[in-house]
Amino acid sequence: MRGPHDVGGLEDGPIDNSTHELAFWEKQIDAVRGVVGAKGIASGHENRRNIEQLGHDVYEKLNYYERWTAALQRQLIDKGVLTQDEIDAKVAQVRQRLAETGELELRAEEETKCL
């Protein structure tokens, strides 16, 4: 059975190989992933395996760094570094802060423009 990452030989549209400036959070997840690897908490192989296990629907909906984030979350929970409750609480805290500053609405508008 083909995984969501295994697209070799499948027909698809043209590849968008344009570059874009990385968002701050994308740089952050790259740095966190590097630290987690350097500390021996999780390897690149584990990261790839967790990305490949996301499933077709989730894999297709997420962009590159969103996949990294989802995989890293799974690894940190599996290794007992964080709990899902701790992650959920922090996400709620960040969402509240962004909503209070109006940044959450701005980001939603930016996402709509990209569609």
Q: What is the pLDDT of residues 101-113, one digit of tens each?
A: 887 765 555 554 4
pLDDT of residue 18: 80
With 50 as the cut, is the pLDDT of residue 14 above it? Answer: yes
Quickly state the pLDDT bin for 17 (edges 50, 70, 90): confident
Mark whether 94 and 114 lie in a shared domain. Answer: yes
Coil, helix or strand at residue 113: helix
User: Which is catalytic among the residues 64, 87, 93, 107?
Assistant: 64
Is pLDDT at 85 greater than 90 in this prediction?
yes
* Domain annotation covers residue 23: no
- Are 74 and 98 members of one domain? no
What single-letter amino acid sits at 86? E
Q: Which residue has the higher pLDDT, 73 or 8?
A: 73
Mean pLDDT (the chain, rounded): 83
Indicate whether 51 and 76 sit together in one domain.
Answer: yes
Residue 65 lies in a domain: yes
Q: What span, in angstroms and rounded, lies between the C-alpha atoms of 27 and 92? A: 21
Burial class (CB in 10 A: 0-12, 13-18, 19+), 62: middle
CA–CA separation, 104 vs 94, rounded Å? 10
- DSSP class of residue 41? S
CB under 8 Å to 49, separation ≥6 — which residues? none
Is residue 103 situated within a structural domain?
A: yes
Angstrom distance (rounded) from CA 20 to CA 73: 25
Structural domain contains residue 18: no
**Is 106 in the same domain as 87?**
yes
CB–CB of 84/77 below 8 Å?
Answer: yes
> Does one domain contain both 93 and 74?
no
Assigned domain for 2 exists = no
Which residues form the domain of 107?
83-115
Say what the pLDDT of residue 19 is: 81
Q: What digits encode the pLDDT tens for the residues 32-67? A: 999 999 999 988 899 889 998 998 889 889 999 999
Number of domains in the chain: 2
pLDDT at 79: 94
64 is catalytic: yes
Same-domain pairing of 44 and 62: yes
Res 111: pLDDT:
53
The pLDDT value recorded for residue 115 is 42
Same domain assignment for residues 66 and 44: yes
Does residue 17 fall inside a structural domain? no
